[in-house]
Amino acid sequence: VAPVEFSDYHPLKSITVTDSKSRRGARKGSTSSSSSSSSSVAPDPLSSMLDGTDPLSMFAAASASESPPTLSQSRKRREKEDEVGVDFEPWSSKRGEILARFTTTEKLSINLFMGSEKGKAPSLASSAVSEKVRTRLEELDDLEEGSQRELLNLSQQDYVNRIEELNQSLKEAWASDQKVKALKIVIQCSKLLSDTAVIQFYPSKFVLITDILDTFGRLVYERIWSMCSDPRPLPDSFTADEVNDTAKETCLNWFFKIASIRELIPRLYVEVALLKCNRFLTKCGIQETVPRLTAMIRGIGDPLVAVYARAYLCRALLTEMMERCKKLGNNALLLNSVMWAFRAEFIATRATDFIGMIKDCDEAGFPQHLLFGSLGRSLACADPPEAERLPILNEAWKVITKVRSPQDYINCAEIWVEFTCRHFTKREVNTVLSDIIKHMTPDRAFEDAYPQLQSVIRKILTYFHDFSVLFSMERFLPFMDMFQKDSVRVGVCLSIMDVFIKHQQEPTRDPVILNALLHVCKTMHDSVNALTLEDEKRSLALLINGFIRMVSFGRDFEQQLSFCVEARATFCNLEPVLVQLIHACAAYSFITIPSLTSIFSRLNLYLLSGQVALANQCLSQADAFLKAAVSVLPEVPRSISIEGKLRSSEGFLLDFINNFLSALLVVPDHPEAGVLFLVRGLLNMVQDYTWEDNSDAKVHVYISALPLLAAMSQESYLYSIPKVDSNETLYGGDPKFLAEINKLCETLIGQVLDHLKTLGRDESIHRQGSLAFSLFGCLLAHGDLRNNKLNQLAVNLWNLSHKQGYCNTRTSVRTLEFIKHQAQQPDMVHLSDVLHRLTLQSRT
């Protein structure tokens, strides 16, 4: 008997075989041979390489005495076999995506030719090879000529459920040792892939059917593997020399059965599903089979079916496809498709190999810069080995920098910028920017490449968040100068400021950063015009304000103020920015005012800063300044030095308090501080202040506060600040608010009257008359004299001020003329009664 050469077998080749008789009943025992004969038979694929015993039955019997591998071992081995590399994207991740994406609402159908029961294989009692061959042929014929089952009007879910049932039936048939039935299911399922009636569902159908094929291929592979486990399991990296003859014969039997399938599509798919089993036959079996399978696909007429058949072949054996690309040479289009199709991690780990293949491609067929562009896209998403990164960049840039067309050049260079930023320092990035400027500046080529140039900036900003490093690149700002179009230039500036605001954690005073970002912000600010929308202004102001907040010169207040002044002049068209600068200046003032030695300079600056803050709607800052001024008042000494001479400070203090009271009219109450908290705080300070002996200053303050309280009780205030809601708006004339004002007025008037009584006892008649006349004038100007008590109090104060004749007669006469004039007004008739009760007195 001639030995079988597994390396050159073919299902149609005439082979000499040895036939051994056996009984089907020996399925659970060992097989026995009673006779043998040699014969040369016709090129029958089922009888080739067969010794007369059904391999499936024989090995089923042999497996009974062997312990099969555990489920976990099979799973681990299967995962190992399926693994092309840790960087290869698993099919399971694509499967779910495809099923979710390619759906349909159309009705689907399934045509199944599951065969009849008449062709069941008889027992192997006969010893003639021809009978066994005839039986197997009948079984295979039965697969294609049996009864037809057609399931119509299936919904997508019904279709999926039916396919899942077939997958489960396949597993059950295999588990019950019905190998022919299992093959029958696989063949019929493969035939479904020839139906493209509902084309949008075909990708999902492909996934479902190939799941069944994968299951079948895994079952066959594990079955043959289990035959090689005696005396010990095969290693993961086994060779065909380590496989025993029994396993090889069984493997060949499966391939011969597949070769007898008449239709092309099921024969192709089933053989691809068992492609890994070639490892049991020869070392180069897979490599030899792939070209033949690729050629078989050319016989498929439907282009969609053919494409998916090629996809399934690539799924089952990827590394061999790469080797074919290398051998073919000058196949740039195929190489480009591989780099686009496969996972980035797979490409990155083999980047050096791809560069070698790219360099071997002819420029005429497919430009190398396009191939490097495809490679760069993968390397931007996955990292090649660290030792290979610099050689990869150098090899790529050698090709890129030689591209003459500016558009082709920037399309490729823009891709590789991300790889450069991802793995290298500012030195390499600066070199790349310099090369881009060199290529894009002539003939103003950059004007046609703004999208790519913007992409370069975005990629640099993605990886460089340290702006001291970014602006230290010599070519970064010259690179930005290529953005000549205003809208594009502003967009780039927005991107830069957005990254700065997000990633700058600490305040900076770096002059390089400040000068560069001031220029960037000025570009944004100068883009504002009459047509700019408010939302755009707000966005610009938000970014510029973020930059201003991140500038700090520490204790160098002069430098901080100088920066604020420069920014104020630069960003004058954006009101929110000005407000931000007001905040910055207010903070500067609040910090520096306490360092002044002059007490009245501090008081006036606190008041002025509070008024400026209020005018710019900075309410919290205004409150802080005004409260600080009140807290400083007790520190005012009785005398101050003016031009080297000591003078009383009382007059200066009264002037400041009067100015302070006038400012309080428009200051809204703090919601957490209570009604009129600043007015009360000031009056409490005045009450506790140590005034000079025999001084009426405190009472003058009380009298000055009455006009303020009267103005606060009006429905509409005498003056207001735009965009600031004063108490007239906050309280809206609430009776409780007015009651608080009246109560405070009564308290102040009571304090003044008590002081007048004290002056009467002290025989300070002149001071008493002056204060009484001042209070009379306040009541006349701001009080409601229709009130009888207030009317009588006014008359008493007039009489008290003229009692000893110390009042100025001219002033009194003019006051009476004023009252007479006012009484002529329709709503002031009540003053006529007051006028009749007022008389002039003198010391004569």
* DSSP assignments along 795-815, one per residue: HHHHHHHHSSS-S-HHHHHHH
Contact 223, 59 (CB under 8 A): yes
CB 490 within 8 A of CB 527: yes
Please tell me the predicted confidence (pLDDT) of residue 661. Answer: 93
**Sequence-separated contacts (24+) of 32-39 with Cβ below 8 Å:** 34/127, 35/127, 38/1, 39/129
Task: Give per-residue pLDDT as tens, 33-80.
Answer: 333 333 333 444 443 344 444 444 444 444 444 444 443 444 444 444
Confidence at 281, pLDDT banded by 50, 70, 90: confident
Whether the predicted pLDDT of 105 surpasses 90: no
- The predicted model gives 760-767 an average pLDDT of 77
Highest mean pLDDT among 457-461, 502-506, 688-692: 457-461
pLDDT band of 576, cuts 50, 70, 90: confident
CA dihedral sign of residues 265, 266, 271, 273: positive
Selection from 228, 231, 252 nearest residue 242 by Cα: 228
| pLDDT tens string 168-186 | 888 889 999 888 888 888 8
CA distances from 710 to 438, 583, 704, 731 (A): 76, 33, 11, 15
Compute the residue count for the chain: 844
Is the predicted pLDDT of residue 737 greater than 50, yes or no?
yes
Between 160 and 341, name the one with better pLDDT.
160
Q: Which residue has the higher pLDDT, 187 or 106?
A: 187
Q: State both tokens at 363.
A: 């420029």
DSSP-assigned letter for residue 277: G
Distance of CA 475 to the CA centre of its chain: 29
Task: Work out the average pLDDT over 236-247.
Answer: 81
Q: Which long-range contacts (CB under 8 A, 24 or more apart) does 830-838 make?
A: 830/785, 830/786, 830/791, 831/785, 833/791, 834/785, 834/791, 834/794, 834/795, 837/795, 838/795, 838/798
Please indicate whether residue 530 or residue 457 has the higher confidence score (pLDDT).
Answer: 457
Lookup: tokens for 644 = 């080297």
Helix or strand run (H / E) with residue 597: none
Higher per-residue pLDDT: 321 or 703: 703
Phi and psi dihedrals of 420, rounded to 5? -65, -45
Q: How many CA atoms lie within 13 A of 283 on its CB side?
A: 4
Answer with the residue of higher pLDDT: 391 or 159.
391
According to DSSP, the β-strands at 16-20 and 36-40 are: antiparallel
Tell me: pLDDT of 115 over 70. Answer: no
CA 48 to centroid of chain Cα atoms: 63
Backbone angles phi, psi at 261, to 5 degrees: -70, 125
What mean pLDDT comes out for the span 98-113? Answer: 75
Query: pLDDT category, 112, cuts 50, 70, 90?
Result: low
pLDDT tens column, 335-378: 887 788 778 888 888 888 888 888 877 766 678 888 899 999 99
Q: In this prediction, what percent of the chain has a pLDDT beyond 90?
A: 25
pLDDT class for 411, splitting at 50, 70, 90? very high
pLDDT band per the 50, 70, 90 thresholds, residue 494 = very high
Instruction: Return the minimum-mean-pLDDT range out of 95-109, 110-124, 600-614, 696-710.
Output: 110-124
φ and ψ of 61, to 5 deg: -70, -40
Which sign, positive or negative, has the C-alpha torsion 26, 31, 35, 40? positive
Average pLDDT over residues 781-796: 87
> Which amino acid, 287?
Q
What is the reported pTM? 0.53
Residue 19: predicted pLDDT = 38
Bridging pattern class, strands 645-648 and 16-20: unpaired
The token pair at 63 is: 């497996």
329: left (phi over 0), alpha (psi -120 to 50) or beta: left
pLDDT of 98 above 90: no
pLDDT at position 643 is 81
What does the alpha-carbon distance between residue 597 and residue 593 come to, in Å, rounded to a whole number? 9
- What mean pLDDT, rounded, does the chain reach? 79
Of residues 462 and 579, which shows the higher confidence score? 462
- Does residue 390 carry a pLDDT above 90? yes
Under the banding of pLDDT at 50, 70 and 90, the label for residue 450 is very high
Instruction: Centre a 10 Å sphere on the Cβ of residue 166 and count the other Cβ atoms it contains.
Output: 19
Strand (E) or helix (H) holding 327: helix 318-328
Residue 658 or residue 285, greater confidence: 658
Distance, in Å, from the CA atom of 412 to the CA atom of 417, rounded to the nearest integer, reads 9
What pLDDT sits at residue 5? 43
> Tokens standing for 609?
């800063």
User: In Å, how far are 21, 317, 325, 591 from 322, measured between CA atoms?
Assistant: 47, 9, 5, 71
The backbone torsions φ and ψ at residue 19, rounded to the nearest 5 degrees and listed phi first, read -105, 130
Model confidence at 150, pLDDT cuts 50, 70, 90, reads: low
Looking at residues 632-646, what average pLDDT do you find? Answer: 87
Q: What's the token pair of residue 336?
A: 């480009």
pLDDT tens, position by position, 590-610 = 888 998 888 999 999 999 999
Whether 117 has a pLDDT exceeding 50, the answer reads no
Q: How confident is the model at residue 665 (pLDDT cuts 50, 70, 90)?
A: very high
Nearest CA among 654, 657, 660 for reference residue 692 = 654
Over residues 682-710, the pLDDT tens digits come to 999 999 988 888 888 999 999 999 999 99
**Both tokens of residue 281?**
């036959």
Dist. CA 676–CA 741, nearest whole Å: 9
Enumerate the β-bridge partners of residue 39: 17
Helix residue ranges, H only, 121-240: 129-145, 156-175, 179-191, 202-227
Q: 26 with 32: CB under 8 angstroms?
A: yes
Per-residue pLDDT at 398 exceeds 70: yes
Identify which has the larger pLDDT, 84 or 268.
Answer: 268
Using CB atoms within 10 Å of the CB of residue 494, give its burial: 0 to 12 exposed, 13 to 18 middle, 19+ buried: middle
